[in-house]
Amino acid sequence: MDKRARLRRSDWLMAGFMALSTDGPVALKAEPMARRLGTTKGSFYWHFADVPNFHKQMLALWVEGAVSHIPQALVDQTTPVARLRRLGQIVAGGFHPALGTLTVEPAIRAWAREDSAVAQALAEVDSTRIGHIQRLLTEVDITNPEMARIIYAAHVGMADLSTHDGKDNADPMGSLVDLVLALR
């Protein structure tokens, strides 16, 4: 028997996210994934019925973490302004409970251009996040729904820029939130 540690389902999923972020959706197949992990395709099929099942599990993990942590992260903020600023930090930081600081959102967006299931899941995540922003803006008496979309679009663009230049988006997002708050 091979003395290497047995791979877990979570190992495959994390490797999938790393492959997606570096090589795109083309890397999300059994053979390239097995090569990446130095194992056989049999290990892949031990954990996943097939490649579409692997994709589905990756997507479900990303979707769950893309929005689930937001309400809890805002609970300790005592004012609407503090909650809005904290949300800006969360968005800019790109933190995901299961993925940590591994930035995959630009790769998820690229994958969504090729896969309708990914596009649908991404649309739901975007809608939920924009809803969070809109509710917080309403709490600070900013009722123009375009502002939530502007803040969110800035997040999407900043995340994409960061894949190329590696810069942190916390300060620019903070400046944008402060600018929006100054409009009240």
The residue ranges of the chain whose pLDDT is under 70 are: 1-5
User: What is the per-residue pLDDT for 3?
Assistant: 45
Domain boundaries, position 148: 9-182
Is residue 60 a part of any domain in this protein?
Answer: yes
Does 42 fall in a domain? yes
d(Cα 143, Cα 85) in Å, to the nearest integer? 17
Q: What is the pLDDT of residue 88?
A: 81
CA angle at 84 for the pair 140 and 179, rounded to the nearest 5°: 75
How confident is the model at residue 4, as a pLDDT?
58
- Residue 51 included in any domain: yes
Q: Give the phi and the psi of residue 21 in degrees, each rounded to 5.
A: -70, -25
Give dist(CA 53, CA 156) in Å, integer.
27
Could you write out the DSSP letters of every residue in 126-150? HHHHHHHHHHHHHHTT---HHHHHH
Residue 110: the pLDDT is 94
Query: Into how many domains does the chain fold?
Result: 1
Look at residue 1 in the predicted model and tell me its pLDDT. 37
Q: Is residue 2 part of a domain?
A: no
CATH number at residue 123: 1.10.357.10
Q: Is 180 exposed, middle or buried (0-12, 13-18, 19+ CB in 10 A)?
A: buried
- Cα angle, residue 68 at apex, residues 108 and 113 outer, rounded to 5°: 15
Lookup: tokens for 173: 């997002």
Residue 3 falls within a domain, yes or no? no
The verdict on residue 25 lying in a domain is yes
Cβ–Cβ contacts within 10 Å for residue 69, how many?
15
Report the DSSP beta bridge partners of residue 96.
100
DSSP secondary structure of 39-108? S-HHHHHHH-SSHHHHHHHHHHHHHHHHHHHHHHHHTT--SHHHHHHHHHHHHHHT-BTTTBT---HHHH
Q: Which two tokens stand for residue 66?
A: 């893309």
Residue 107 lies in a domain: yes
Residue 37: inside a domain: yes
